[in-house]
A and B are shown apart, each in its own frame.
Chain A
């Protein structure tokens, strides 16, 4: 006796049984499987997976793959499956919710302006004829909703756009003024009121219900109800041939209102997280009236989704069941997905086949239809359904992949790639043999058994139109509202699926971040600790050694031998003629005035000895007073007089920019001296037009950055004038490359106290630097000794530590 394996439990059943005797799952599909079933049946879940123990391998899987396996496993439904079932259940609830939340945009005020717009448009387009009437002569073009609208209330740009689009290419049908509601509802998603309305999840979707529930029951989805961009696209494709039936002026309004997605307000609408997804819903609403997309064209992930939602695994990719899927699940992905799939002419074959009579509808669909029949009792008779996918237009639309560009690249690629790689499409599944799949892959593959719900809708093929002028015809797109009803897109759960291990990482990270934010109180140090004692010892050593140096008159240390860079600056100053204008920048902070005064003393002394005219500037606010202090404390013997032998220009603000402006035109930037006198009145300075006119530029600075700014801004502007520097020991390493460069950017350098001391030696005059030299040398020796002792101590301590660790490990 032939056995029939249950798709759910896999147990054998007698061939004549329709439901499984063990689990009561349906064994026979309600419709014949499409071609290819024979081949793909080998992949049915009833067949036992190859006996491979892949449990060990699963641990090595990435978490997301483990999750994927978990969700697809029929034994362990994912926690989200309930939500997905709810998602389906909401289709049943949607009519109620629609009633509960009427569209906020249907107001009388809107009707008035829409009527005015319509009237205006009617005048403009009165003379044009629609060719659609010719192409579909038997169909009477009656727009479902229309009213007279004046264009006064529309923005100019919209009217222009309308004029261009409709006037040139299309002529929209006219409708009777009584039918206003659909027009308003098509306007609603982007109408002013809707724009002002905050887009809550439910509210944002109300218009979808209305559009489907009020437009579509009337059966007419004429060209004018399509969005402008779609009409335009059609117009482009068909050229002059495509014309919509001539209609009354009032019918132009839907076109205008559907053009509203491009209105400014709609663009300005702020998109919150939930709102950001509204476009999905909108597009779904636009799609669904135009018909569902055949399941063959659905990407695999949609099929998987369906499988997960129903909790059942289909044996084969069921074309007809997928059609229903599309109505329900494809709609959230909008027309980009749905219409983008209408690539080939064959895609539209289902239109000829798919019919779903009322009798075989699910209960909730019947309820919905009944409720809408009550709302619109006479529409069936009045409206004529003009399918946008009728034979005349089908080729035009399906001939090209008109929405291919609208598809995000990743989506189109993903769908193509997934189809190609995973081989889950109808054709590709044929080529896969079950033996080639590891057990765990086989167990997680998305397969689905036909459900009762599916099977009822699978009988759409037998649908016979029961109303309207097409009554009695078979294999046409059903006009009933229930069939092509657009439903509110289900709220998708966007909760992140997190594995336990991931959650642990998250918790750990949260703890770490939280700890980072806490300001830990500094541990209270004991009054006497090793570190403090060490610090005191170091301070004591330094203080005592330096104090000892001052107390002693003996010189234990010989002065440093002058370096080449020191000799360069000495030679340059020596070569200056008397009363040469020399620019001296006092660019150091008071903190280092002790060192800088000692370094600069010899150089300034030399300049004064040469009788040069000194011009002092500074890019630091403390510079001007440092100059005066310096001259008073170290150069008092020269008795230089301000204004006669030197001028203190003061402070140049602005850093590099200020310095650059001074370089270009010093007289304009610093017109007055620090004492308020005219700085440039003196003879040596009268000839100074730019900084290059000085005989020498000397920068005295403690900061490598300040030195760099002087080199960068000043040196390129000096032609033959040398730039020299007296810098602190801390700035020397970063200034030296400018001196060592070939060609030199800094022509001479006095660096640190050794430099200052050697310069004083060069000019043969004792000064501040030489006075510090003994203490300086002793301070260095003290530091060196401390460092040597600490270095040795650290090495010894680390050895002891290592030994201790070894012994502890040994124990």
Chain B
């Protein structure tokens, strides 16, 4: 893989990328101003970029253009969306509360979408999937190993859920405690959670390792293609 430098702008960009990569890598030596400089550049650029894309890709075609060029229905609809949008800007002014109702629309829609999705997309299908894992007709595998594995999956699912059950029975004069049964199942759940988190940790490391490989690859190519040439010319 090469750096694909086709123009001066690309060359400058690659050089800038090389410098910025080194600035961030300096964090390995410890937190330092160079790393913080790169981090703040990143925050500013990413926020600006997101704003540009949002304006260009969403607000102009969805809100502004229909207002100017749209038909009657589109115009009214755009006005209807424009009013809460403008009130939403009140959130960054001293009259924050004026934007509450517009924010309420956003929150209400988001909450309902999340609830509906969780019910129809995760809760019901995953519950059915758990039940079906021990149903031979569903899996088509009736070996003892499959039964054992299905049992382990069910045990892991239930015990993990139970581990996060923090309901207690409180009696006067006693420290509130979970049911002994739930406590024991919860201990088993801890094992499954540790296993899942172990796999997750390994996955995050593998993802980060791939990013490191990509960056070292970039540095390697930069040194090979540009750095050595620069050194030679000097």
Which residues of chain A have a CB within 8 Å of any CB of chain B? 525, 532, 535-536, 539, 542-543, 546-547, 550-551, 591-595, 598, 621-622, 624-625, 633, 650-651, 653-657, 660, 671-672, 674, 676, 702, 708-709, 711-713, 715-716, 728-734, 737-738, 740-743, 745, 752-753, 768, 771-772, 775-776, 779-780, 783
CA separation between A715 and B117, bound complex, in Å?
10
- Pairs A–B under 8 Å by Cβ, sample size 7: A542-B212, A653-B54, A730-B207, A741-B129, A742-B135, A753-B210, A776-B209
Shortest Cβ distance from residue B85 to the other chain A in the assembled complex, whole angstroms: 12
Given the complex, which residues of B lie within 8 Å of A728, measured CB to CB? 203, 207
B120 within 8 A of A: yes
Residue contact A536 to B113, C-beta cutoff 8 Å: no
Contact of B210 among A598, A672, A676 (CB under 8 A): A598
Given known A672-B61, A741-B126, A775-B217, contact A650–B53 (CB-CB < 8 A)? yes
CA separation between A595 and B153, bound complex, in Å?
29
Residue contact B54 to A546, C-beta cutoff 8 Å: no
B159 within 8 A of A: no
Given the complex, which residues of B lie within 8 Å of A731, measured CB to CB? 203
B168 within 8 A of A: no
CA separation between A550 and B211, bound complex, in Å?
14
Residue contact A730 to B200, C-beta cutoff 8 Å: yes
Residue contact B207 to A621, C-beta cutoff 8 Å: no
Given the complex, which residues of A lie within 8 Å of B229, measured CB to CB? none
Given the complex, which residues of A lie within 8 Å of B209, measured CB to CB? 542, 776, 779-780, 783
Residue contact B196 to A657, C-beta cutoff 8 Å: no
CA separation between A37 and B208, bound complex, in Å?
89
Chain A residue at minimum C-beta to C-beta distance from B65? A672
CA separation between A670 and B65, bound complex, in Å?
13
Given the complex, which residues of A lie within 8 Å of B135, measured CB to CB? 742
B206 within 8 A of A: yes
Q: Which of B57, B128, B196 has most A Cβ within 10 Å?
A: B57
B234 within 8 A of A: no
Q: Which of A542, A712, A745 has most B Cβ within 10 Å?
A: A712
Chain B residue at minimum C-beta to C-beta distance from A550? B220
Contact of B110 among A591, A655, A768 (CB under 8 A): A655
Contact of A776 among B46, B114, B200, B210 (CB under 8 A): B210
Residue contact A713 to B113, C-beta cutoff 8 Å: yes
Residue contact A742 to B132, C-beta cutoff 8 Å: yes
Excluding A550-B217, A741-B130, A772-B214, 10 further A-B contacts by CB distance (< 8 Å) are A535-B28, A598-B214, A650-B58, A651-B53, A729-B202, A741-B126, A742-B132, A743-B128, A779-B209, A779-B213
Residue contact A595 to B203, C-beta cutoff 8 Å: no
Contact of A651 among B58, B117, B210 (CB under 8 A): B58
Residue contact A713 to B117, C-beta cutoff 8 Å: yes
Shortest Cβ distance from residue A133 to the other chain B in the assembled complex, whole angstroms: 58
Q: Which of B29, B120, B204, B216 has most A Cβ within 10 Å?
A: B216
Residue contact A624 to B122, C-beta cutoff 8 Å: no
B33 within 8 A of A: no
Interface residues of B in 91-131 (CB under 8 A from A): 109-110, 113-114, 116-118, 120-122, 125-126, 128-130
Given the complex, which residues of B lie within 8 Å of A776, measured CB to CB? 206, 209-210, 213
Q: Which of B49, B121, B216 has most A Cβ within 10 Å?
A: B121
CA separation between A768 and B218, bound complex, in Å?
13
7 A-B pairs closest in CB distance: A712-B121, A594-B214, A741-B129, A712-B117, A595-B210, A729-B206, A742-B132
Residue contact A543 to B54, C-beta cutoff 8 Å: no
Residue contact B213 to A775, C-beta cutoff 8 Å: yes
Given known A713-B113, A733-B199, contact A772–B125 (CB-CB < 8 A)? no
Residue contact B203 to A729, C-beta cutoff 8 Å: yes
Given the complex, which residues of A lie within 8 Å of B113, measured CB to CB? 655-657, 660, 713
Residue contact A595 to B216, C-beta cutoff 8 Å: no
Residue contact A779 to B1, C-beta cutoff 8 Å: no
Given the complex, which residues of B lie within 8 Å of A772, measured CB to CB? 210, 213-214, 217
Q: Which of B4, B125, B139, B213 has most A Cβ within 10 Å?
A: B213
B30 within 8 A of A: yes
B178 within 8 A of A: no
Given the complex, which residues of B lie within 8 Å of A595, measured CB to CB? 207, 210-211, 214
Shortest Cβ distance from residue A22 to the other chain B in the assembled complex, whole angstroms: 45
Chain B residue at minimum C-beta to C-beta distance from A655? B110
Given known A730-B203, A733-B203, A752-B203, contact A657–B109 (CB-CB < 8 A)? yes
Given the complex, which residues of B lie within 8 Å of A654, measured CB to CB? 109-110
Residue contact B30 to A532, C-beta cutoff 8 Å: yes
B205 within 8 A of A: yes
Chain B residue at minimum C-beta to C-beta distance from A741? B129
CA separation between A743 and B29, bound complex, in Å?
50
B230 within 8 A of A: no
Given the complex, which residues of B lie within 8 Å of A712, measured CB to CB? 117-118, 120-122
CA separation between A18 and B200, bound complex, in Å?
90
CA separation between A752 and B210, bound complex, in Å?
9
Given the complex, which residues of B lie within 8 Å of A771, measured CB to CB? 1
Given the complex, which residues of B lie within 8 Å of A741, measured CB to CB? 125-126, 128-130, 132
Chain B residue at minimum C-beta to C-beta distance from A595? B210
CA separation between A551 and B219, bound complex, in Å?
12
CA separation between A660 and B109, bound complex, in Å?
11
Shortest Cβ distance from residue B227 to the other chain A in the assembled complex, whole angstroms: 14
CA separation between A715 and B120, bound complex, in Å?
9
CA separation between A741 and B128, bound complex, in Å?
8
Given known A650-B57, A711-B121, A712-B121, contact A546–B203 (CB-CB < 8 A)? no
Residue contact A525 to B30, C-beta cutoff 8 Å: yes
Given known A532-B30, A651-B57, A775-B213, contact A730–B117 (CB-CB < 8 A)? no
B232 within 8 A of A: no
Given the complex, which residues of A lie within 8 Å of B114, measured CB to CB? 656
B43 within 8 A of A: no
CA separation between A715 and B125, bound complex, in Å?
11
B83 within 8 A of A: no
Given the complex, which residues of B lie within 8 Å of A768, measured CB to CB? 1
Given known A712-B121, A742-B138, A779-B213, contact A622–B50 (CB-CB < 8 A)? yes
Given the complex, which residues of B lie within 8 Å of A737, measured CB to CB? 126, 129
Contact of B216 among A535, A671, A738, A775 (CB under 8 A): A775
Chain A residue at minimum C-beta to C-beta distance from B150? A742
CA separation between A788 and B122, bound complex, in Å?
38
Given the complex, which residues of B lie within 8 Å of A542, measured CB to CB? 209, 212
Residue contact A752 to B118, C-beta cutoff 8 Å: no
Given known A745-B125, A776-B213, contact A752–B117 (CB-CB < 8 A)? no
Given known A594-B213, A729-B206, contact A653–B58 (CB-CB < 8 A)? yes
CA separation between A753 and B203, bound complex, in Å?
10
CA separation between A600 and B118, bound complex, in Å?
27
Given the complex, which residues of A lie within 8 Å of B212, measured CB to CB? 542, 546, 779
Shortest Cβ distance from residue B77 to the other chain A in the assembled complex, whole angstroms: 11
Given the complex, which residues of A lie within 8 Å of B213, measured CB to CB? 546, 594, 772, 775-776, 779
CA separation between A741 and B109, bound complex, in Å?
29
CA separation between A543 and B126, bound complex, in Å?
42
Q: Which of B30, B138, B209 has most A Cβ within 10 Å?
A: B209
CA separation between A734 and B212, bound complex, in Å?
23
Chain B residue at minimum C-beta to C-beta distance from A710? B121
Chain B residue at minimum C-beta to C-beta distance from A545? B216
Chain A residue at minimum C-beta to C-beta distance from B198? A733
Interface residues of B in 145-183 (CB under 8 A from A): 153
Given known A550-B217, A712-B121, contact A594–B210 (CB-CB < 8 A)? yes
Contact of A543 among B120, B130, B153, B216 (CB under 8 A): B216
Shortest Cβ distance from residue A551 to the other chain B in the assembled complex, whole angstroms: 8
Chain B residue at minimum C-beta to C-beta distance from A671? B61
Given the complex, which residues of A lie within 8 Å of B139, measured CB to CB? 742
Chain A residue at minimum C-beta to C-beta distance from B202? A729
Residue contact B205 to A621, C-beta cutoff 8 Å: no
